[in-house]
Structure formats: structure tokens, C-alpha cells
Amino acid sequence: MNIRKIERHDIDLVAGLFDRYRVFYQQPSDLDLARKYLGLRLENDESVVFVALAKKGDMSIPVGFTQLYPHYSSIRAAKNWILNDLYVETPYRGMGIGAALIRKVMDFAKGEGAVFVELATATDNYAGQHLYEKMGFIKRPPDHEFFTYRLTLKT
């Protein structure tokens, strides 16, 4: 298996995975939207995407990906990373690919001088929680220092 950072011209390696990831979260399949969204993120340096490639015969096929978004901290004067998306194709789950992608993320973030990598996951994503905790992520208690607010903008 090989894990590498993709560039704008590599979108098609990940677009199908990204589309299936969105479908997993009850979004309608839309491969064109997946290509456009990923393309814009990479073109504008708004995210970093790693793809896991597995050997199948003499070909390499994409079997998983992760997408990171930068998170800036004025107080720490640092750029940290949000591990926003992590997906491994169903037949390849349980083979250590998710853990390998996370290790790649951690190496990348350290190399960028980040103070932390943060993620959020659904409360019923037990497999994900197990993986994240196994990889050293600490489940944080509710934040008592700050409240988080959201204002939904009408489109």
C-alpha cells in the first residue's frame, strides 16, 4: 500500500471515494459535485488530501482517503489541522488502512509545525471512535471555557 498527498491533477483518484463517503452520510451521489468540490479546495489551498493506493495485480487502485482543513489559532499563533474526512472502501476495512492514513496525517501535521490535529465523529461511530482512541486521540469533555454557536445562513 502507498499513501500519498494528491495534487489538483489527481482529483479522479479520489473523486469516486469522496462521492461514496458523502453517500455514506446520506447525501445524494454526485460525482461531478465531488470533483468540483475537491478541485476547488485543492486549487485554493484550502485542504490537503491523502489517498491510500493498494496493489491489484499490476495496478494501483484508490481504496481510502483523508481530507484535512487548516485551523488557525491566534492565541497559539499556529496553524493546526482538522481531520475532517476519513474513508476506506468497505472491502478494505479492518486492514489497517485507516490507521495508516492517520499516521500520514500526524507526520504531515508535525512537519507543518502544527500543535494539534482535531476531529469530530458521530456519537454512534463506534468503529471510528475505537480507531481514533487507539491512535492516541483523546476524547475531550464538553468545553467549559467557551461556548460554540452556529448561525445558519439562508441560501
DSSP string, 60-100: EEEEEEEEEEEEEETTTTEEEEEEEEEEE-GGGTTSSHHHH
pTM of the model: 0.90
Separation between Cα atoms, residue 146 and residue 144, nearest integer Å: 6
Domain-wise residue ranges, the chain: 2-134
Q: Looking at per-residue confidence, does 7 or 120 come out higher?
A: 7
Mind listing the pLDDT tens digit for each residue in 30-63? 999 999 999 999 999 999 999 999 998 999 999 9
Higher-pLDDT residue of 144, 19:
19
Full strand arrangement of the beta sheet holding 2-5: 2-5, 48-56, 59-73, 78-88, 117-118
- pLDDT of 89 over the 60 cut: yes
Condensed to tens digits (0 to 9), the pLDDT of residues 9-29 reads 999 999 999 999 999 999 999
pLDDT in tens, 95-108: 999 999 999 999 99
Helix (H, G, I), strand (E, B) or coil at 138: coil
The lowest-confidence range among 33-42, 106-115, 139-148 is 139-148
CATH of 2-134, one of 3.40.50.1970, 3.30.70.2190, 3.40.630.30, 3.40.50.10860: 3.40.630.30
